[in-house]
Amino acid sequence: MNVTGELQQIGGSGRAQYRVLLECLPTRQHIRHTQIEHTGLAMEAIGVEMVLRVYNHVPRGDRPRTIGTQLLVASIQHQRHIRFPVPVPMQLISGGMSADVCAACHGGHYCPSVLSLSVGCTPTTVRLSNGAKQDAGCDVVGLALRSWIPLEIDDTANCTDGRDPLDVNPADLIRRIPKAELHLHVEGTLEPEMMMALADRNGVELPYASVDEIRRAYDFTNLQSFLDIYYAGAEVLREQQDFYDLTRAYLERAAADNVRHVEIFFDPQTHTDRRIPFTTVVEGIHGALVDGEKELVITFRLIMCFLRHLSASDAMETLEDALAFKDKIHAVGLDSSEVGHPPSRFTEVFDRAREEGFLTVAHAGEEGPPSYIWEALDLLRVERIDHGVRCLEDPALVRRLVDEQVPLTVCPLSNVKLRVFDTLEQHNLKELLQAGLCVTVNSDDPAYFGGYIGENFLRTQQALDLSRADIRLLATNAFQASFLSDAEKQRHIAALTADP
């Protein structure tokens, strides 16, 4: 169904035309897009009262094809409530996101803050479309009326009935909100298809004959069994263009999940041990990040990680190599096999890194004990703990993490894939949140663990029954825990808060 209408604003000092186009799919209650093209007057200047006045004075026969969409757009812009004087059946339709959406009862009111509608029993039909309008920075909600009813503003409406709309359709909020990803290994974004393509391009012989064989190899029993195939896959990364292509592919996936900022890990020792020049690695990754910021509007920080299964002297040599790239590398971290490789082994390396101006993070408390988290905090003096899920085994550690609001970059799907938790339903992320910890959601090595950040959010919400407030808090925590400036953090958090 296509409903096209024009609204001419009447009265006031300005004059503008608005065109509304609703493209409704005939099945599964989907609306693909809602587009509003407007000239002459900003959407914010429409005003609910003006739209209502025009709506109520348009000849009755024209009303179903005129300004219903504009009415609800203006309502959202101004956070006003629209009263339906009679109950009307409502159909809530997500903008190309999901067919499983709720039309909740709110006593005959449309409430822009929760995107819910009343449900009644008269023949009048109202169709709601919820899609994203990027240039206006708002959610565009369309209303097409099969028959005309008078509408009025109700500033006294109470739109809380104790139900969280996220309980019905979490995908809508999760896909819409801006995100920061703080725990992402670029080598861990090497999808099987790219692995095969780069192997062909660089003449590398893989121990797998097909993409399907590679995927079947992703049956890990622990962190070490994952790292074995992880390092084997890295063999295909040879040239600067390889690292560029790998990073660019991740950024495009991240953009689809509405990631606005990423702090991306790379493991130079994985490559320099194969005689790949340090500069080849850094320039390829950084070049893609710079282009991604320009073209995809994703800001970034680059974090170099030391491999803890190698010696501290190897790490110090890698740090020396990195000094020539201090304009590109923002922080250093510690990753690889955790058990048997405590952070204390790298105290001198991290002391030197801080002297050189690098910020510090470290993987701790994933497979390793809570004592590794204490060491990372007290000896490496890190800004963030990567993973950290075993902190709950130590109440004193939890109190410190809460008191100092030390961020934990948690990776739910990774934790299940590597058998830190048997199932996602057993994950302790919600318990961490409820304890007051600064928890974030990330994807770790998404090509290997079956989900990028959006999938981590969605599946974790489903498994742990996270509320709308939980989702917003997790997203806010990530920006707050990032290495962005305070002004940049607040800009992103304000955008998060403004989302209805």
Report pLDDT digits (tens) over 207-229: 888 999 888 887 777 777 787 78
Closest C-alpha to 170, from 474, 498, 416, 493? 474
**CB 335 within 8 Å of CB 295:** no
pLDDT computed for residue 215 by the predictor? 85
Asked whether residue 43 carries a pLDDT value surpassing 60, the answer given is: no
Question: What is the amino acid identity at position 418?
Answer: L
**CB 459 within 8 Å of CB 424:** yes
Residue 315's CB is within 10 A of a number of other CB atoms, namely 24
Residue 248 corresponds to which tokens in the numbers above?
A: 């660019």
Q: Which of 366, 367, 404, 431 is catalytic?
A: 366
pLDDT computed for residue 85 by the predictor? 37
- In percent, the amount of the chain with pLDDT more than 90 equals 56
pLDDT computed for residue 257 by the predictor? 94
Asked whether residue 75 carries a pLDDT value surpassing 80, the answer given is: no
Asked whether residue 475 carries a pLDDT value surpassing 90, the answer given is: yes
Query: Given pLDDT bands bounded at 50, 70 and 90, which one contains residue 343?
Result: very high
d(CA 459, CA 281): 33
Q: Bigger pLDDT: 114 or 363?
A: 363
pLDDT computed for residue 102 by the predictor? 25
State how far the alpha carbon of 190 is from the alpha carbons of 52, 147, 233, 452, in Å: 53, 54, 8, 12
pLDDT computed for residue 279 by the predictor? 98
CATH number of 179-498: 3.20.20.140
Indicate the pTM of the whole model.
Answer: 0.69
**CB 401 within 8 Å of CB 408:** yes
Average pLDDT, the chain: 73
Among 97-106, 280-289, 300-309, the minimum mean pLDDT is found in: 97-106
pLDDT computed for residue 1 by the predictor? 25
pLDDT computed for residue 258 by the predictor? 93
pLDDT computed for residue 500 by the predictor? 58
DSSP state of 325: G
Residue 55's CB is within 10 A of a number of other CB atoms, namely 20
Helix, strand, coil fractions of the chain, as percent rounded to 5: 45, 20, 35
Place of tokens 């990027």: 134
The residues spanned by each domain of the chain are 2-161, 179-498
Sign of CA dihedral 3, 4, 8, 9: positive
pLDDT computed for residue 303 by the predictor? 98
- Span 263-286, mean pLDDT? 97
Q: Bigger pLDDT: 199 or 63?
A: 199
- 28 Rama sector, left if φ>0, alpha if ψ -120 to 50, beta otherwise: left
Asked whether residue 455 carries a pLDDT value surpassing 50, the answer given is: yes
Which runs of consecutive H residues, i.e. helices, occur in 324-452? 347-355, 370-378, 395-404, 412-417, 429-434, 446-449
pLDDT computed for residue 403 by the predictor? 95
Q: Bigger pLDDT: 177 or 137?
A: 177
44 is catalytic: no
Asked whether residue 165 carries a pLDDT value surpassing 80, the answer given is: no
d(CA 483, CA 492): 13
- Span 129-141, mean pLDDT? 27
The pLDDT tens digits for 370-402 are 999 999 999 999 999 999 999 999 999 999 999
d(CA 111, CA 473): 22
- Span 129-150, mean pLDDT? 30
d(CA 358, CA 302): 11
State how far the alpha carbon of 36 is from the alpha carbons of 2, 62, 92, 93, in Å: 14, 19, 19, 17
d(CA 185, CA 263): 9
- Span 338-364, mean pLDDT? 98
pLDDT computed for residue 105 by the predictor? 26
Residues 6+ apart with CB under 8 A from 379: 343, 344, 347, 350
pLDDT computed for residue 169 by the predictor? 66
Closest C-alpha to 163, from 405, 394, 372, 468? 468
Determine the length of the chain.
Answer: 500
pLDDT computed for residue 265 by the predictor? 98
d(CA 246, CA 264): 12
Query: Given pLDDT bands bounded at 50, 70 and 90, which one contains residue 454?
Result: very high
Helix, strand, or coil (residue 389): helix
pLDDT computed for residue 499 by the predictor? 62
Helix, strand, or coil (residue 480): helix
Q: Bigger pLDDT: 494 or 370?
A: 370
Asked whether residue 89 carries a pLDDT value surpassing 60, the answer given is: no
- Span 267-280, mean pLDDT? 96
